[in-house]
Amino acid sequence: MTAPLSLLNPILTDELLTRGLGDAEARAMIEWLVDRSEQSHARLPLEVCRAEITRLCQRARAVSRFVHLWCYQQLHGAACQLAATERFTWPLPATDEDPYEVMNQILEFETVEAQQRLELLAV
């Protein structure tokens, strides 16, 4: 089920979601958010869905910032502080990994968490 544009608007208009990322990482992030939004729309009441999309966008902005700090600025200490503050549960990537690979690895972990949360909210 495709989510209405009004639900996707927070994703499509938020430049902070992709600031500092390469095209491939930005595309992966947006596609991930749209997919999560569509899954939420299919299973949750509208207001709960909107709240979940807002939460996912906040999480995605932090992931985006982490990838930027870790991969593009090589500020691993700052990225680790961000990861601790945001309570990211995924393992830290290798320091020489490709930004696109780092983004995909993180989004795999985030997908599992998002699906578990969706199961709890849908009950």
Query: What domain range is 86 assigned to?
Result: 5-122
Please indicate, yes or no, whether the overall pTM of this predicted structure exceeds 0.95. Answer: no
The pLDDT of residue 5 is above 80: no
The pLDDT of residue 101 is above 70: yes
Q: How far apart are CA 57 and CA 93, in angstroms?
A: 22
pLDDT of residue 2: 72
Number of domains present in the structure of the chain: 1
The sign of the CA dihedral 15, 20, 21, 23 is positive
The pLDDT of residue 112 is above 80: yes
pLDDT of residue 4: 74
Summarised one tens digit per residue, pLDDT across range 21-56 is 999 999 999 999 999 999 999 999 999 999 999 999
Tokens coding 17: 């979601």
Q: What is the DSSP letter of 123?
A: -
Q: pLDDT grade, residue 1 (50/70/90)?
A: low
Q: Is 89 exposed, middle or buried (0-12, 13-18, 19+ CB in 10 A)?
A: exposed
Q: pLDDT grade, residue 123 (50/70/90)?
A: confident
Summarised one tens digit per residue, pLDDT across range 53-87 is 999 999 999 999 999 999 999 999 999 999 999 99
pLDDT of residue 77: 96
The pLDDT of residue 3 is above 90: no
